[in-house]
Amino acid sequence: MSYQIDHNALTNPKLEPIRAGFGRGLKAAGATNDKIVALCADLTESTQMHLFRDEFPDRFIEIGIAEQNLVTVASGLARAGKTPFVSSYAAFSPGRNWEQIRTTIALNNQPVKVIGSHAGVSVGPDGATHQMLEDIALMRVLPNMVVIVPGDSVEAEKATRAIAENGQPSYLRLAREKSPVFSTEESPFEIGTAYVLREGHDVSLLGTGAMSYQLLKAASLLAEMGVDAEVVHVPTVKPLDESVILASVRKTGRVVTAEEAQIKGGFGGAIAELLSEQLPTPLKRIGMQDRFGESGAPNELLDYFGLTAEKMIDNIAKFVRDTPQYHREY
C-alpha cells in the first residue's frame, strides 16, 4: 500500500512534524553529495538542521539572525559550486529577504534551497507575526523557482533529497506541529507531479501540504453523506502538474482547494489561474481568507479557521449540492 489512507489511518494516524522529515532528508542527502552545505539563521534545531550540522560540522555555517545575509551568502556559495540549503522560519525567510532571493538566487539562477519552516497558522501560540501565510504566493511568482509543500514528514524527506539534486532554485515549505503521516516509504514522489489519492466523481478536492490529509478524511466523511469526492495531493505548487489536475477536473466538474496559507496568490490562486485559462470550472478555495492568524493552540486554530476535515465537510457538501457539474464536454 503506497499510502496509509484506510479507516484506521484516518481516525488514528501516526503523527510527526513535517520538518522532521526535512532534517532526516538533508542528512541523508549530505551523505551522498559532498557539495551540499547548510546555513542557518540561529534556528538550527527548530528547523531540524542540527541533524546535518552534527553529522557534517565542516559543511554547516551559522549565519546568526541575519536572513538577508543568509540567502546572499548562499548565492555566493552556489557560484562556488556548492548546493546550499538555508533554513529559518518562513516568516523571516522568504518573508524578510524576498528581494535578495529574487535577485541573487532566482534571477541569478543559482541552486539555493530555501527552507521555510513553521509556516501556517498551526505554529500556534506565537501568533500572527510568526504564522507565515504569504510564502507560497511570494515564491511561486518567481521565475526559475520550484515550490514544494510536502504533505507529511515522509514526503518531506523525499522532497528534500529531490531538491538536493534538481540543480534549481527551490523553496520547501515546512510546518512546526506534528501532523498525520499518510504517505509511506513506497509512495512515489517526483517534483512537478500530483497524485490522485482517492478516486471519485462528484468533486475534485485538491490539497497541498498537510491539508491533503484533511481532504482525505473529509472525503471519507463526505462519502457517508452521499458525496463521491476525488482527492488529489499536489505537493509541487510550482511547476503545477497540469495534466493530472485537469484530468481530474474534467471528470468531476467541480473543484475545491485547501491550503494552510492565503488563498489569494497561494495554492488556491494557482489553481484558479490554471482553471480560468484552461478549463473554467466552479471553484471553492479553503484556506486563509485574506486575514492574518492569531494566538491559540494549533488544533484550535485549524478548527477556528475551518481547516479541519470536520469543518470542511459541510461547506464542501453544500458546494457540491448547489453547484452544477460543469462542462463535462467543455
Partner 1 sequence: MSGQLTITQLEQKANDIREDIIRMLEAAGSGHSAGSLGLADIFAALYFNILNLDPKNPDWEDRDIMLLSNGHTIPVQYAAMAEAGYFDKEELLTLRKLGSRLQGHPERERLPGLENTSGPLGSGLSQASGYAYSLQYLDHIKHRFVYVVMGDGELDEGNIWEAAMFAGKYKLSQLIAIIDRNNIQIDGSTEDVMPLEDLRGKWEAFGWHVIEVDGHNIESVIDAASMARAITNRPSVIIAHTIPGKGVDFMEYDYKWHGIAPNSDQAKEALKKLRTLDGKITFEGAGVE
Q: Which is nearer to partner 1, 41 or 255 (CB)?
A: 41
Q: Does 248 bind partner 1 (CB under 8 A)?
A: no
Cβ distance 206 to 255 under 8 Å? yes
Q: Does 168 bind partner 1 (CB under 8 A)?
A: no
Cβ distance 173 to 148 under 8 Å? yes
Residues 41-80 as x/- pattern, contact with partner 1 by CB under 8 A = -----------------xx-x-xx-x-xx--xxxxxxxxx
Q: Using CB under 8 A, pick the residue from 44, 83, 104, 257 that binds partner 1.
A: 104
Q: Using CB under 8 A, pick the residue from 103, 243, 289, 299 that binds partner 1.
A: 103
Q: Which is nearer to partner 1, 73 or 210 (CB)?
A: 73
Q: Does 108 bind partner 1 (CB under 8 A)?
A: yes
CB count within 10 Å of CB 291 equals 10
Q: Using CB under 8 A, pick the residue from 24, 27, 53, 82 that binds partner 1.
A: 82
Cβ distance 149 to 267 under 8 Å? yes
Q: Using CB under 8 A, pick the residue from 4, 83, 100, 248 that binds partner 1.
A: 100
Q: Which is nearer to partner 1, 144 or 325 (CB)?
A: 144
The secondary structure of the chain in percent helix, strand, coil, rounded to multiples of 5, reads 40, 20, 40
Cβ 79 to partner 1, closest distance in Å?
A: 6
SS3 79: helix
Q: Which is nearer to partner 1, 15 or 65 (CB)?
A: 65
Cβ 63 to partner 1, closest distance in Å?
A: 7
Cβ distance 260 to 120 under 8 Å? yes
**Bond before 188 cis per omega within 30 degrees:** no
CA dist., res. 219 & res. 199, Å (int): 10
Q: Tell me the site size for partner 1, rule CB under 8 A.
A: 28
Catalytic machinery residues: 67
CA dist., res. 126 & res. 261, Å (int): 16
Q: Does 167 bind partner 1 (CB under 8 A)?
A: no
CA dist., res. 259 & res. 262, Å (int): 8
Cβ distance 176 to 123 under 8 Å? yes
Q: Does 93 bind partner 1 (CB under 8 A)?
A: no
Q: Does an H or E element contain 231, and which?
A: strand 229-233
Cβ distance 138 to 90 under 8 Å? no
Give the burial string for 60-82 (b: 16+ CB within 10 Å, else e). Answer: bbebeebbbebbbbbbebbeeeb
Q: Which stretch binds partner 1 (CB under 8 A): 97-105, 151-159, 226-234, 236-244?
A: 97-105
Q: Does 142 bind partner 1 (CB under 8 A)?
A: no
Cβ 108 to partner 1, closest distance in Å?
A: 4
Residues 17-46 as x/- pattern, contact with partner 1 by CB under 8 A = --------------------x---------
Cβ 172 to partner 1, closest distance in Å?
A: 20
- For partner 1, the binding residues (CB under 8 A) are 37, 58-59, 61, 63-64, 66, 68-69, 72-82, 84, 99-100, 103-104, 107-109
